[in-house]
């Protein structure tokens, strides 16, 4: 795809907790995570695959993490509601996307222009109990999470995160604390 990258695939029917590539870095609490990411449905993915790709942070173990991820196929959908679900914040184990969407519609997800298989630059700024996602160099954040569910003092690893039926690429990952 034109740059050195890690290629990762996530098969359908694989438990979500197995879709992490945990990076060997010092414990991350507050700081900035940047990367070039690309996601698209794999050739064998179901019709519901969206090319889910993102970054997890404050990962304590495979079951406890916070993540912000993209749904690239939603970015240019003809369905406005689906477009509004192009970016998502989640916090496992207690706040998966289904719960956040049901209890607080639109609070933890938003629209951003995306294309499957295209490199997208993401920058996540984490401070205390807040996270801001900047996409493709935008000065203004695309998504603001004002109440990270693991709290202001949480710390843990950083991981590359992919969803079911996804072919993902990661490049230029930088973490500063």
Per residue in 7-27, pLDDT tens? 998 766 666 555 899 999 999
143 lies in which domain range? 6-176
Is residue 1 situated within a structural domain? no
Domain total of the chain: 1
pLDDT tens-digit series, residues 147-160: 999 999 999 999 99
The answer to whether the pTM exceeds 0.85 is: yes
Distance CA 87, CA 61 (A): 23
Is residue 129 situated within a structural domain? yes
Per-residue model confidence (pLDDT) at position 14: 64
Is residue 154 situated within a structural domain? yes
CATH of the domain at 136: 2.60.120.560
Distance CA 10, CA 175 (A): 24
């Amino acid at each position: 795809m034109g740059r050195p990258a890690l290629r990762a695939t996530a098969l359908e029917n694989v438990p979500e907790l197995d879709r992490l590539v945990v990076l060997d870095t010092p414990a991350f609490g507050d700081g900035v995570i940047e990367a070039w990411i690309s996601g698209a449905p794999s050739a064998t993915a179901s019709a519901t695959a969206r090319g889910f790709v993102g970054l997890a942070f404050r990962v304590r173990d495979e079951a406890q993490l916070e993540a912000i991820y993209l749904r690239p196929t939603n970015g240019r959908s003809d369905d406005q509601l689906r477009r509004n679900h192009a970016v998502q914040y989640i916090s496992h184990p207690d706040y998966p996307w289904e719960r956040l969407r049901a209890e607080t519609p639109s609070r933890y997800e938003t629209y951003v222009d995306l294309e499957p298989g295209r490199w997208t630059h993401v920058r996540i700024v984490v401070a205390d109990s807040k996270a801001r996602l900047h996409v493709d160099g935008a000065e203004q954040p695309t998504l603001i999470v004002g109440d990270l569910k693991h709290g202001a003092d949480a710390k843990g690893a950083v991981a590359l995160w992919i969803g079911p039926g996804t072919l993902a690429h990661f490049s230029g990952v930088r973490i500063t604390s």
